[in-house]
Amino acid sequence: MPHRIAVSVMPLENRREIFSYIAAAAERLGYEAFFLPEAWAYDATVVLAEAATRTRRILLASGVLGVWSRSAGALAMAAASLHAVSGGRFILGLGASTAQLTEGLHDIPFTAPITRMRRVVTQTRALLRGERVPLAAAPHARPLKLNLPPAPDLPIYLASLGPQAIRLTGELADGWLPFLYPHTCLAEGIALLREGAARRAGADGLPAVCPSVPVAVDPDAAKARERAAWFIAFYLTSMGTLYRGSLVRQGFAREVEAVLAANPKGQAAVVPPEADELLEQLAVFGTPDQARARLARWHAAGAALPILLLPPNLTRDEIDFMLTALRPSPP
């Protein structure tokens, strides 16, 4: 039986028509889910509704929505709407996002993200169950509930990297969405999920482990490595300190410093040979055979559903090549 695989696309991709194209192509090739991140371009919930009308089987997920940009009420309404439009195929993926995006786009102070995550998940779940929202910021108001059929089984997945956030994921979520998380460290993350799950009353099993993994497949191995290197260098040099700090804590300080030194300000494209281990730990890349072998490491490490994160600005032929090369169904 083929391993389960999902697909997503880097947030720099902003061609609306490409999202439905990827979802439909992935469905045709046997992928289990299409995850769409939201950053500073399209509203992911609107685009996912469009994808829902153009697919029939594949699961559709926000991958992820920040917990600062919408209230729990707005998140619950969007999730319930997408649940209905998709025929029950929607997964609500949430994350704390970053200070840069939260403050620089939404003009909201990025304070106590773990507390915010707990509150938003708890309130959203209550609303999806058909209950009145447990108010926190306005406790003297009359709490309301949604005027919609309950969707109590709608899954909520959380993106988390630090130990406290991963434990919270184990406690509250149905799935874990780590990004730029080394595959050899997944066992440590799963142990933290288990600690969090122990806090749940009547806990049964752990959240599904669904790491988001940059992917670059090309007939030319050198070109694939170059594209994967750009991916890693971009996130370590241009997206604040979140990901580099996480990797340093996990024992990759030397490699992170090598990437930073190789990419002076204004550049983000190089992973030098002394940091090759980052590529091996974080990405799926190479020729089709090489990429399949690297993808197998993630399943072996405990990933239930690796999410292949496509680079932006691919042609449709390039999208088809990558998705076909790693398709979960037999060729």
258-304 pLDDT per residue, tens:
999 999 886 778 999 999 999 999 999 999 999 999 999 999 999 99
pLDDT at 331: 45
Mind listing the pLDDT tens digit for each residue in 163-204?
A: 999 999 999 999 999 999 999 999 999 999 999 999 987 767
Residue 322 has pLDDT above 50, yes or no: yes
Cis peptide before 64 (omega within 30 of 0): yes
- Backbone phi, then psi, for 298, in 5-degree steps? -70, -45
Report the pLDDT value the prediction gives residue 329, as an integer from 0 to 100.
62
Helix (H, G, I), strand (E, B) or coil at 220: coil
pTM of the model: 0.96
Q: Report the alpha-carbon distance of residue 249 to residue 270 in Å, rounded.
A: 22
As a whole number of angstroms, the distance between CA 306 and CA 183 comes to: 10
Q: What is the pLDDT of residues 212-228, one digit of tens each?
A: 999 999 999 999 999 99
Instruction: Indicate the pLDDT class of residue 240, thresholds 50, 70 and 90.
Output: confident
Measured in whole angstroms, how far is the alpha carbon of residue 143 from the centre of its chain? 31
pLDDT of residue 82: 98
Tokens 């292949």 found at: 308
The domain 6-218+287-325 having CATH identifier 3.20.20.30: the answer here is: yes
pLDDT of residue 201: 75
- Domain ranges in the chain are 6-218+287-325, 220-283
DSSP track, 72-115: HHHHHHHHHHHHHHTTS-EEEEEE---HHHHHHHH------HHH
pLDDT at position 117: 98
| Secondary structure (3-state) at 155 | coil
Q: What percent of the chain has pLDDT over 70?
A: 98
What percentage of the chain reaches a pLDDT higher than 90?
92
